[in-house]
Amino acid sequence: MEVNKSYQIRPISEESPYYEVEEGGLDLSGFQDTIIRRINIVLGIVIAISSLTFIRVINRTPSYKAGFEILSEPITIETKVTSSGSQSQQTRAEITAVNLDEIQLKSLTSYDLIITIVNELKHKYPAINYNSIVNSLSLTNSREETVLEVFYQHSDREQVKDVLQSLKNAYLNYSLQQRQFGLNRGLEFLELQINEKQAEVDEINQELQELRTKYNFIDPRIQDVQITQRLNSLIIKQTEQQTQLEQTKNLVAIANKELKAQSTNSTTAMQLGTSRYNALLEDLRQLDYQISQESTIFTDQNPIIQTLKQQRQGLISLINQEVATIKQKINNQIQLEQKQLQATNQEIVSMQKNLQQWSGITREYEDLELQMNIKVDQFKGLLGQRESLQLEVAQKEAPWKLLTPVGEPTIDSSANANLMILGMLFGLLTGIGAALILDKYQNIVYSPNQVRKITNHDVLSVIPYEDNHFDRPSLVKQAIDAVRPFESFEKESGLQLRSRNSNYNHLLYSSMEDFRLLAVNLGFLNVNKCLNSLIVSSAVSGEGKSTIVVNLAQAIASIGRKVLIVDADFRSTTGLTSSMELSSNQGLSDLLLFNNLSLDDVMQKSSLEENLFILPAGTRDILFDKSKLASTDMQNLMEKLKQDFDLVIYDVPAIVGYADVGLLANQTDGVILVTGLGKVQAFQLKEAVNILSMSQIPIRGIVINNLRL
């Protein structure tokens, strides 16, 4: 059969409130729906188990409970072994305090501690043992782990009191023993620390003594001061010698100029010269004076003048000889001053080296001295701590104190309440588990999202659940008045018209909007519609396909389309036709069996809409051959119906188990698969889709029925 490929059915939008969209994460909606569906099973199991628990509680032997409280003040070794030195942190880390923590609570139920109570009470209570006490004993710490709450319960009232009294004494003794044990550990630790500190002090003392012996000093800081003073004096002397040398060099330069000029008035030359040089200069000055006197009387050629000049020449020779002697003397003086300055410089370098060496020695000495002071302070601190711990050891009072005495044993009603609560919780969990297992085993489809996954087809519409449609078979049964023809009939356009006062409110849905939406998605509101005939079926019986047929036909007929409902379901004795209680039993089967009948003889008009007509199933003979649905007569009839009506809707049996859909589908435009939520199992729906796919029957879409909101 040719199908218009351009025609596309519009599926229901995923934004619809009836359509579930997977968004990832933890989805509890399915779990909640399962519990609601199986609430009877859950409640039944809860009530059964709670009842058994209640019977056990009322038959249970009364249990007595009492307790006491102990204050565990943290007066511990940790607060005693402290000091201002860095060693205090190590000391606190090594010594355990007598305080309530998880380890201490476990120690209070240790075998060694509890067995003493068992031995004490064994003669009075022969059945008592370690396990019976521990299993009935409750220890909790509160108020920042400083208060120990002890509770004991048993069916014997006297045993409760005796056990608690023994526990009280045992715990107080335990605290004392723990403190004594901790103090002794502290003393042992301190003795070890004291010995270590003594050895460290002796070692540093030995290093100081070796340093003094090696460099022969009492305190290196004294040598530092002496060397610094000597170095300062040498620096001053160096400065003076440099100044003196510069002055001498300046005088020598001046004297050299005067000596070169042989001036008799040279004070510098005379100052640096010898006594002979000064006498010769005096003689030369007198001789020059005499020559000047005689020159006024005599000429230069005069023997007297000549003699005086010869004498003067002799004096100059003598003076030159003396000048050489003076220069040698000056050079010797400069060399002497330079040697003195060099010696001073060398002594300064030597003193600087000594100062550097003694500075290192001083630093080493001071470091050792600082370490010595620290070790001595720590040593003294440890001695003080040891003395404090020795005083603590002498004390015999238990550090834990009894806050509240042992109370009178009372019946433990909370145990019964807890047992009831546990029973109810166990029943609830068991009921939920049973509900989930049963739901998983039945594997029934409950959500549109499941339908979409299983069928992999578009969902055309979701028909909500209504209270007046709770029972689908009875709903069709109640459709009698809605589609029953009128009792009085007349011929109109060759069709029988019957009139009967009927009430069809139970057949129709209160709102037709969902069926109008289905009509829109099928394209029946389009001017150029191409769907002319449809098969409406379901995977199994009881999914409400007949109700969908009636309401969809009414919705389409209400917009002016001429619609015919053909009841082709010969498998059900409570089908659409039988539920309508039509006045005539003739219908489709009669048309196929008897040639003397015409379509007008068996087709009837509905009172719901002017354009809505019904072709009943006809005589339901068990011998009726269903293969006639594929006969030539049936094909001719279907072609005629296509020409006479805008839409022909065939109500056929379920797909799974019957071949009727395959017999009729080739003459129609496709199949609408009705899925009743909570009615069909997943494998049945999948099988129905596979049957249609293998038969190459086009599925126009899925209509989901009976959705509970």
DSSP string across 249-289:
HHHHHHHHHHHHHT-TT-HHHHHHS-HHHHHHHHHHHHHHH
Report residue 390's pLDDT band, with 50, 70 and 90 as the boundaries. confident
Is it the case that residue 82 has pLDDT exceeding 50?
no
Is it the case that residue 574 has pLDDT exceeding 70?
no
Q: What is the pLDDT of residue 466?
A: 65
Count of CA atoms in the C-beta half-sphere (13 A) of 285 = 10
Instruction: Give the position of tokens 């030995």.
Output: 206
The Cα 561–Cα 242 span in angstroms is: 135
| Mean pLDDT, all residues of the chain | 76
Kindly state the percentage of the chain with pLDDT values over 90. 3
Q: What is the pLDDT of residue 129?
A: 92
Does any domain span residue 375? no
Tokens of 210: 């070796």
Contacts of 106 (CB under 8 A, 6+ apart): none
Does any domain span residue 422? no
Q: Which residues of 66-97 are buried (b: 16+ CB within 10 A; e: fewer)?
A: bbbbbebeebbbbebbbbebebbeebbebbeb
The Cα 339–Cα 321 span in angstroms is: 27
Is it the case that residue 556 has pLDDT exceeding 70?
yes
Query: What does the DSSP 8-state code read for residue 707?
Result: E
Q: What is the pLDDT of residue 584?
A: 62
Same-domain pairing of 656 and 569:
yes
Same-domain pairing of 523 and 404:
no
Report residue 38's pLDDT band, with 50, 70 and 90 as the boundaries. confident
Is it the case that residue 77 has pLDDT exceeding 60?
no
Report residue 527's pLDDT band, with 50, 70 and 90 as the boundaries. low
| Domain of 144, in residue numbers | 59-197+395-413
Does any domain span residue 361? no
Same-domain pairing of 407 and 553:
no
Report residue 231's pLDDT band, with 50, 70 and 90 as the boundaries. confident
Same-domain pairing of 407 and 506:
no
Same-domain pairing of 400 and 452:
no
Ranking 245-249, 254-258, 576-580 by mean pLDDT, the lowest is: 576-580
Q: What is the pLDDT of residue 156?
A: 87
| Residue with more model confidence, 450 or 620 | 450
The Cα 642–Cα 668 span in angstroms is: 9
Same-domain pairing of 660 and 512:
yes
Is it the case that residue 16 has pLDDT exceeding 60?
no
Does any domain span residue 418? no
Q: What is the mean pLDDT of residues 239-251?
A: 84
**Interval 649-665: pLDDT, tens:** 998 888 888 888 888 88
**Interval 430-486: pLDDT, tens:** 888 887 887 777 677 777 888 888 888 888 888 876 654 434 444 344 443 444 433
Same-domain pairing of 403 and 464:
no
Same-domain pairing of 453 and 537:
yes
Is it the case that residue 26 has pLDDT exceeding 80?
no
Q: What is the pLDDT of residue 564?
A: 92
Q: What is the pLDDT of residue 483?
A: 41
The Cα 345–Cα 350 span in angstroms is: 9
Does any domain span residue 298? no
Same-domain pairing of 94 and 187:
yes
550: domain CATH number is: 3.40.50.300
Ranking 95-104, 357-366, 697-706 by mean pLDDT, the lowest is: 95-104
Ranking 222-226, 241-245, 501-505 by mean pLDDT, the lowest is: 501-505
Same-domain pairing of 585 and 674:
yes
Q: What is the pLDDT of residue 532?
A: 86
User: Among 370, 386, 413, which residue terminates a domain?
Assistant: 413
Q: What is the mean pLDDT of residues 345-372?
A: 86
| Residue with more model confidence, 18 or 389 | 389
Report residue 76's pLDDT band, with 50, 70 and 90 as the boundaries. very low
Q: How much of the chain is helix, strand and coil, in % rounded to 5?
A: 60, 10, 30
143: domain CATH number is: 3.30.1890
Does any domain span residue 454? yes
The helix-helix angle for 545-557 and 513-522 (nearest 10°) equals 80
Does any domain span residue 256? no
Is it the case that residue 567 has pLDDT exceeding 70?
yes
Is it the case that residue 559 has pLDDT exceeding 80?
yes
Same-domain pairing of 613 and 510:
yes
Q: What is the mean pLDDT of residues 275-293?
A: 78
Q: Strand, helix or coil at 575?
A: coil
Q: Strand, helix or coil at 432?
A: helix
Q: What is the mean pLDDT of residues 72-92?
A: 46
Phi/psi of residue 156, each to 5°? -95, 115
Q: What is the pLDDT of residue 261?
A: 62
Contacts of 705 (CB under 8 A, 6+ apart): 463, 543, 544, 545, 547, 548, 674, 675, 676, 677
Same-domain pairing of 401 and 470:
no
Does any domain span residue 296? no
Report residue 516's pLDDT band, with 50, 70 and 90 as the boundaries. confident
Is it the case that residue 414 has pLDDT exceeding 80?
no
Q: What is the mean pLDDT of residues 533-538?
A: 89
Q: What total of structural domains would you count in the chain?
A: 2
Residue 590, amino acid: D
Is it the case that residue 612 has pLDDT exceeding 80?
yes
